[in-house]
Amino acid sequence: MAHFPQPQRNVRAPRVRVPDNAQVVFISENYKIPAVLNKLSSTGGTARLARKCPEGALAEIRLNTRSGSVQALVEILSSPDPVLHEQPFRFVAMGDEDRQMLQSALAHLRAQGYGEGTVTVGF
């Protein structure tokens, strides 16, 4: 069954920094766009793409984790700082097995000290 991440508006999903210039591939409009994953959470992340994707574009992401290969549909978001060349994205849909592998990979990275904590937004 497909999983559609539903972020809680007042709690930001814990992020992890992704070490070792982890390579991922975005597939948008039948083009493979190699990228380096910078940050990751259960709701999305940021990556340095070989070429910029327009805001709102849908793409498939493929990333390899210690738990296995994760594939998901993502939406490309607007870049808050174009100088950094980071492209944020959010997960739109993924299969149950992919979600479980992603959660396992995030837990492993947090256990290794790559976590950035939880941030509460608002009052």
Looking up residue 52, the CATH number of its domain turns out to be 2.40.10.220
Is the CA virtual torsion 119, 92, 45, 98 positive or negative? positive
Number of domains in the chain: 1
* Residue 57 in domain: yes
CB neighbour list of residue 85: distance below 8 Å, 6 or more residues apart: 48, 49, 79
pTM of the model: 0.83
Task: Give the per-residue pLDDT at 4.
Answer: 56
The verdict on residue 78 lying in a domain is yes
What amino acid is encoded at 44 in this protein?
G
Examine residue 100 and state whether it is found in any structural domain, yes or no.
Answer: yes
What residues contact 12, with CB distance under 8 A and at least 6 apart? Answer: 118, 119, 120, 121
pLDDT of residue 120: 42
Joined together, the tokens standing for residue 93 give: 């849909």
Residue 1 within a domain: no
Confidence (pLDDT) at 7: 55
User: Is residue 110 within a helix (H) or strand (E), and if so which, with residue range?
Assistant: helix 96-111
35 is a domain residue? yes
Whether residue 92 is contained in a domain is answered as yes
Q: Is residue 88 part of a domain?
A: yes
**DSSP code, position 115:** B
Answer whether residue 5 is part of any domain: no
Could you say which residues of the chain have pLDDT below 50? Answer: 1, 118-123
What integer pLDDT is reported at residue 13 of this predicted model? 82
What residue type is 70 in one-letter code? Answer: V
For residues 15 and 39, is the Cβ–Cβ distance under 8 A?
A: yes
Both tokens assigned to 49? 């793409």
Predicted pLDDT of residue 121: 42
Token representation of residue 70: 């994760």
- Domain that includes residue 87, residue range: 18-114
